Structure formats: C-alpha cells, structure tokens
Amino acid sequence: MWRKSKPYLLLLPAAAAIILLFFGGIFDGLLKSFGYFPAIGQTELNLAAYDRLLSSDAFWKSLTLTLRIAALSSLLSAIIGALVAIALFFLNDAMKTTSPKVWHRLFQLPLTIPHLVTGYIIVLLFMQSGFVSRILAAIGWIDDIADFPVLVNDTFGWGIIFTYAWKEAPFVALMLYPVLSRIHGSWREVSRVFGAGNWQFIREVVMPVMMPAWMVATFIIFVFTFSAFEVPYLLGVTYPSVLPVYSYQLYTSGTLADRPEALAVNMILAAITILLGLVAYYFSKRWNVLKGWG
C-alpha cells in the first residue's frame, strides 16, 4: 500500500499548494464573477457581469488593444532575436574560440532587468523630452520638443511594444541559438560546393532549421505580453487600457458592483491564455523544438 501511494504522497504538497493558492483563487474569482458574494447576502449565480461586459464598448476596445500590442511586441522581439541569433551563429562559425560567450552574457542582461525598470528606461529614452529626442535635436532633425512623436503613454502602445522588444528579443535569441548551433560546419561547406552564397545558405538551411523554435518562442512571448500587467500599467493610457489593466481599474474603482465585472474580465483572460497555452504546447510537442534546450 505504501509503495503504491508513495509517489502520490510525494506529489501531494506541491500539487496541494498550487491547487489551494492558485486554482482556489481562480475558482473564488469565478464564483464572484457570477455575482456570488455571501458577505453582502448575494448567493445566487447569474451572468449579469458577463452580459454588461460583452455589451460594453470599453471591453472590446481593450481586447483589440491587447491583441495588437501582444502581436506587435512578439513580432518585433522575434525579428530582432532571430537577427541576433543568426549573427551570433555566423560569428561563432567564423572565430570558433573567441567572444561568443561574452556576447551571450551581454545579451542576457535585459533578461535580468525587472520589467518596471525596463519600462522606466523606455520612458527616459522615448518620452518627448527624452534621450532620443535630445539626440535628434542635437543633430538638427527636430527643433522643438513637440516635433518628437508621443511614444510613451500613447494610445497606440508604442512604449509598451518597445519595452517588450528590448526585454524579450534576447529571450528569442537564447532559445534559437542552441538550435542553430546544431547546424554542422560541414553543411556550410556543402552549400558552398553547390554554389550557395551566405544569403542563400540562410534562406535554405538556417531558416528552416530554426523555424519551429522561432514560432514557439514568438508564441510564448505573445501569451506573456497578452496577460502582463506592470508594463502597460506604467506606459499605457487610462483609456483604452489592456485587459489586465482594465480589470485592475474595474477592481479598484471603489464600487463593489464593478468587482464581478473585473473578475469576469479575468476569467475571459484566463480562458484565452489557457487556449493559447494548449496551442503552444501542441505545436512544441509536435515539432519537438525544445530538444536540447533547458
């Protein structure tokens, strides 16, 4: 009996912690999103909060904004990350022994910087009186603060997108690099024998090899940026706001009536992330991309 139940007993503390602290909280939120507040005598379940939410303009605007920011952030980080990974690969190929390790370390730096600090770095760089604007003024491209576009706390979300690109591009590069390093030097020789230049080698060999890992890395960033709070809270505008910020605004608006709506936003967010997570999991399993990584 002991032998049979032993693994389950070993799993119990970790599973119980997550079930109680995490799923318990989600379930608690789910009940309250259905209007279940025993503290104020409401014990009937209803869909009023979802009704109000789905018919409100603010929710749909928020959803579109969230999707757009997540899509652009993940795409931008994916492109920068891929370029760096390919450059590192060629560099490594060319000078076997020297610097790639230093590059790696340097490129990992953004990963260790907390999100709020990254956000503030972007504020100082891209606000209208920021560092980039000062440099442009110094070289004579703009004459006035107002000539510099509003890129921070703007309605489009550029500041948020830049922050994520800076922070997540290294993540993409670090996920791609091990995959690329499995390309043998001899493949390059062979491609040269067949008359392929560098560009053709990238297009015909490097790109197909890194594609699966690249897609999954991009997808992971999409899911993360879709549901992250700190950066849009710091760099966004009050209206329209991304879904996590919208939920927080509703939650802290002061009236208890808005709370079920806030929790309803959360449940919709959770449902979308679970769906996206399952898609990512399916593809990563199918393509076996994470082999040799982690």
Partner 1 sequence: MKKHPRFLSLFLFIGVFIFVIVPFVPLILTSLSFGWRWPDVVPQAWSLRAWEYVVNDGRTWQAVGISLWIALIVTAINIVLAVPAANALMRYRVRGRWLFEAIIFAPIIIPPFISVMGIHLTFLRLGLTETVLGVVLAHIAPTLPYMFRAVMISYQTLSTDWEDQARMLGAGAMPRFFHVVLPHLLPGILAGASLSVLISLSQYLITFIIGAGQVVTLPILLFPFISGGDPGIASAYSLLYAVIAILALIIMDAALKRYYQMNKASQNQSKGVKP
Single-letter code of the amino acid located at 213:
A
Of the candidate spans 51-59, 67-75, 118-126, 284-292, the one that interacts with partner 1 by CB under 8 A turns out to be 118-126
269 binds partner 1 (CB under 8 A): yes
Take residue 66 and report the two structure tokens written for it.
């969230």
Contact 184, 206 (CB under 8 A): no
**Contact (CB, 8 A) for 176 and 218:** no
Cis link prior to 240 (omega < 30° from 0)? yes
266 binding partner 1? (CB under 8 A) = yes
Fill in the per-residue mask, 189 to 228: x = in contact with partner 1 (CB under 8 A), - = not in contact. ---------x------------------------x---xx
Query: Of 251, 283, 287, 290, which lies in the binding site for partner 1, with binding defined by CB under 8 A?
Result: 251
* Distance between CA atoms of residues 175 and 111, nearest Å: 12
CA-angle at 102, arms to 96 and 105, nearest 5°: 130
Site string for partner 1, 15-54 (x = CB under 8 A): x-xxx-xxxxxxxxxx-x------x---------------
**Which residue in 49, 175, 276, 289 binds partner 1 (CB under 8 A)?**
276
x-marked contacts with partner 1 along 53-92 as a string, rule CB under 8 A? ---------------------------x---x--xx-xx-
159 near partner 1, rule: CB under 8 A: no
List Cβ neighbours of 124 (8 Å cut-off, separation of 6 or more). 130, 131
